[in-house]
Each structure stands twice: as C-alpha cells, then as structure tokens.
A and B are shown apart, each in its own frame.
Chain A
Amino acid sequence: DAKTTQPNSMESNEEEPVHLPCNHSTISGTDYIHWYRQLPSQGPEYVIHGLTSNVNNRMASLAIAEDRKSSTLILHRATLRDAAVYYCILRDVYGNKLVFGAGTILRVKS
C-alpha cells in the first residue's frame, strides 16, 4: 500500500479555516485519496474522498495537487467538535483494505 505523510499535530482557532496537508508521493494512478477522522472515544468517521479533481461535501473540501502527490483537507470553519485525529489514506482498487497511518491530531481553541 502506498504511504502517506501527515504532520503529527496542528492547532486552529474556532471558526477559522483549517488546512490539513497530506503527502503521498508514491501514489499510483488508480489510488483514491480518502480522509477519515476519529473523534475522542469514537470510531473513525468518513470525511471525503477524491481521485483527481477537487471535491466538496457538507463536511469539508479536498484539494488535490495536479501531480496528485499531495492533497489538503479543508475545514472551512473549525468548531470545537472538529477536534479529532484526521487520517489521510490511499485506497487502491485491488482490495477491501484501509491502511491507517499515524494521522494528524487537530486541536481547536475557543
């Protein structure tokens, strides 16, 4: 499985945008970029995914670099409830596997 690299932790102020980066320089042409997050004392939760184009949904936006070697998860207005561990995962087309990396701990200050 191709690997991802994320910062260990980030901090944001409430109601400000947050940009969570992810590097995946060994991504293959068929790998999808998935983001999940895990709130304290809960199971992981799907956030968003994309292949080549930028994506938006009600939770977040995903910006994918043109060469696909990096991506950024954007939370447009962080709230205290967004404090979580955010995982960037590459999903290949060959099997039912999610391989979680260490993720980024996002802290949101009021």
Chain B
Amino acid sequence: DTEVTQTPKHLVMGMTNKKSLKCEQHMGHRAMYWYKQKAKKPPELMFVYSYEKLSINESVPSRFSPECPNSSLLNLHLHALQPEDSALYLCASSQDLSAGGHIGTDTQYFGPGTRLTVL
C-alpha cells in the first residue's frame, strides 16, 4: 500500500470556525509533511514531523496547528482562518532517511489534498 489518504476532500469554513484536516499513511514512514498550494503555484512546505516530533515549522501562522498523534496519522487544526488561507492542503510522507545520512534519496508520497475554502 503506497497510498496517502486525506480527509475531507473539500472543506468550506467560516473565519470563526474550528476544523481539522486529517492525513493517514500505512507505509511505515516516519516523516510526514503538510504543504499549502495556491492556484497555479507550486506547493509550499508548512510543517515537517520526523519520528512524531515537529522538526520544521516554516514560520506558519499560529492559526494553523499541526499534530502527529502517532506515526501513521497527521492532523492540521484550523482556527480563525482568513480568506487568503483558501488553498489546496497537501499531506505527504517519506521514510525519513536522515538518521542514516541518506536524506538525499528520501522520496515523498503525496495525498490528493484537501481543497479548503474560507469564507
């Protein structure tokens, strides 16, 4: 199974709502990622979890709160978002070969994304 699943596929929320995006993989990967992609732009890294610990936060506003409950699951909690946060949110996973010094060969598997609209 080389699949990364994301739920929901689409989400519409108001600026005062609290919602969560979910991501799951069963490939035994130990690194998981959140990316944000605006229309016609490349994906931008938001967060990286390595062995269930947050290792990279790309200066993301605190209204986005990641969580990694276990090695298979990754959540992104959303609160008080702005309309400009509307985007495709992509989750990815990889083996995480950094410990062995082979990070250059680590490849990422992406989910289909959650299309978020903030009204």
Which A residues are closer than 8 A to B by beta carbons? 30-32, 34, 36, 41-46, 49, 51, 85, 87, 91-103
A47, closest chain B residue (CB): B107
Partner of A98, one of B45, B105, B111, B113: B45
Our count of residue pairs bridging A and B at CB distance below 8 angstroms stands at 68
Which B residues are closer than 8 A to A by beta carbons? 4, 31, 33, 42-45, 48, 50, 55-56, 90, 92, 94, 96, 98, 101-113
Are A100 and B42 neighbours in the complex by a CB distance under 8 Å? yes
Are B42 and A87 neighbours in the complex by a CB distance under 8 Å? yes
Are A96 and B107 neighbours in the complex by a CB distance under 8 Å? no
- Would A91 and B48 be within 8 Å (CB), given that A42-B112, A96-B55 are in contact? no
Are B105 and A43 neighbours in the complex by a CB distance under 8 Å? no
Q: What residues of chain A lie closer than 8 Å to B98, measured between beta carbons?
A: 95-96
13 contacts between A and B (CB under 8 A): A36-B108, A43-B4, A43-B113, A44-B90, A44-B92, A44-B110, A49-B107, A51-B104, A85-B42, A91-B104, A92-B104, A93-B101, A97-B56
Which of B56, B102, B110, B113 is most buried by chain A, counting CB atoms within 10 A of its CB? B110
Are B42 and A102 neighbours in the complex by a CB distance under 8 Å? yes
Docked pose: A101 CA to B43 CA in angstroms: 9
B90, closest chain A residue (CB): A43
Q: What residues of chain A lie closer than 8 Å to B108, measured between beta carbons?
A: 36, 44, 46, 98
Partner of A43, one of B48, B101, B103, B111: B111
Partner of B44, one of A49, A51, A100: A100
Q: How far is the CB of B1 from chain A (nearest CB, A)?
A: 16
Are B104 and A95 neighbours in the complex by a CB distance under 8 Å? no
Are A34 and B107 neighbours in the complex by a CB distance under 8 Å? yes
A42, closest chain B residue (CB): B112
Q: What residues of chain A lie closer than 8 Å to B105, measured between beta carbons?
A: 32, 49, 91
Q: How far is the CB of B97 from chain A (nearest CB, A)?
A: 9
- Would A44 and B104 be within 8 Å (CB), given that A96-B55, A96-B98, A97-B48 are in contact? no
B102, closest chain A residue (CB): A93
